[in-house]
Chains A and B, each alone.
Chain A
Amino acid sequence: MAFDYDLLIIGAGPGGYVGAIRAAQLGMKVGIIEKDKAGGVCLNIGCIPSKSLVHQAEDFHSIGNLERMGVKVDLAGFDYGNVHAESRKAADQLSKGVGFLLKKNKVEYIQGTGIITGEHEVTVDGDKKISANNILIATGSRPRELKGFEFDGTTIMSSDDILMRTDLPKSMLVLGAGAIGCEFTHIMNRFGVEVTLVEMLDHILPTEDEESAKVLARSFKKRKITMYTSAKASPPRKENGKVILDVETKKGNKTLEAETLLVTVGRAANTEHIGLENVSISTENGFIQIGDYYQTSVDSIYAVGDVVSVTPQLAHVASKEAELVVEHLAGEKVEPRLDPTTIPTGVYTEPEVAGFGYTEEQAREQGYEAASNSFPIRGAGKSVAIEKTEGMVKIIYSTKTQEILGARIVGTQATDLIHELMLARSSELITTDISKMIHAHPTLSEALMEAARATEGWVIHA
């Protein structure tokens, strides 16, 4: 039986569009269905515009440095609307870029809402039936809404809402100190908003290594960001254009008040209204369950990215998973499922927080004779010159084989720096390979070399 497409992808985010291009490269006839804009959350209301805000927040912050040089800056004309507009420009440019790439690779872009109506069939906008040999679900996620904290767009905001906001609030509460919560805390603080961060677990960045989180917490504290950890919030009240949040902490109850509340407590998978029930694909807590090669309970249908429960909800994870699925479909030999210890994470605050692999405790639980050593970013001369001395590099390694088991970097540009250690790990280089390699001076990368030396007990600059 002939299908309209070899592969039909639902969702043109970083999972869908990468999968589509790769599939086209491998000779498949590919269609991709998107109800909003090419590039998905990542490009349009996620990673990209938020990085534009982070960047502009740093520019704004550096006004202080200009004044030190004697430059007088008149802030009277400052308009956050311009900042927002700039972030949209970046998003639009990249979204168009994705559209172009899809076109260039002869992927058919189908604007509309796709619902699976058969094992080989998707119906777009209720009437147009399209068939395909295989279907890939890459519908992504949306900000998770808590009961009693329903988003209203202005006083109770999701990350989508704050990214679309064209003015600055005077004060803001942030509920949930994960990567997204911390990034907006950072951005708003840089623009002079009074920010209070509330986290239910016992440290900010609760899924990150505690030592890394502490470095960021220290930095936040210096910047007069109020933080409450191990804090439980009751549903907020709205009074006189303010939002009031009762918080229960170990040190007693607090009543917090601000102009607006940002709720960043995770992201919910977009698995409703996509027709899973029509082909009886099973979900658990809203996530699609998958096999080794991301296949669902229906042979012809695969799922990747934020809708899948086994891997973290990150753009680069979705992209890689989509590549694997497509290569698998093309008959190439691929490794089953991503190994979570090979996935890098990044938090784009200042300092940044990046990492991969096991923490020391996790490595021990896995049976490794693990140890870890840290080196302060301050020890790399360049950090002093560029006035970004906060942070550290930590390498978790096997004392028996010098295998690199994981790493954490907190510091400026940590999200870029981490890749040297990742490449070392994936190529099975050992700590000595890094400690002995010449690193240019002055660079921040020298801190990585020194951290590797620390594992051998011979740092030079500490």
Chain B
Amino acid sequence: MKSERGIYLLIGAFFFLIMVIYFLWSGEAGGSIMLFAAAGLGIMPGLYFAWWAHRMPPRPEDRTDATLSDGSGPVGTFPANTIWPFVLGMGAALTALSLVFGVWLAVVGLAFIISTALNVSLESRRGGMV
């Protein structure tokens, strides 16, 4: 995690430096703010990885003495097959089309979207597909 941290923080530091130079040179606030946010694009994940590097032991890929077997085991928790992204897409499409055909279609579309939100939550509750 420490190498990821370093990469992101370096990107952030670079944009911060550019921001300081830009601001001192131009004295213009709008662009400086965008550059400041660009620095944040590096600093935010950088600090996130730094926090995780702090709260977990080094992964096998962080150690030089790791063996292949150290990296074995489950990779992660993945969602099972589920119908709700499809329903959500239907709802979003219908809601967008309501701009053309009228508000009544948004009612149908929002019904799809709301039922998706509910059922995705309840899927985990029922212990079915997560």
Partners in one complex: no
| Partner-B contacts on A (CB < 8 A) | none
| Partner-A contacts on B (CB < 8 A) | none
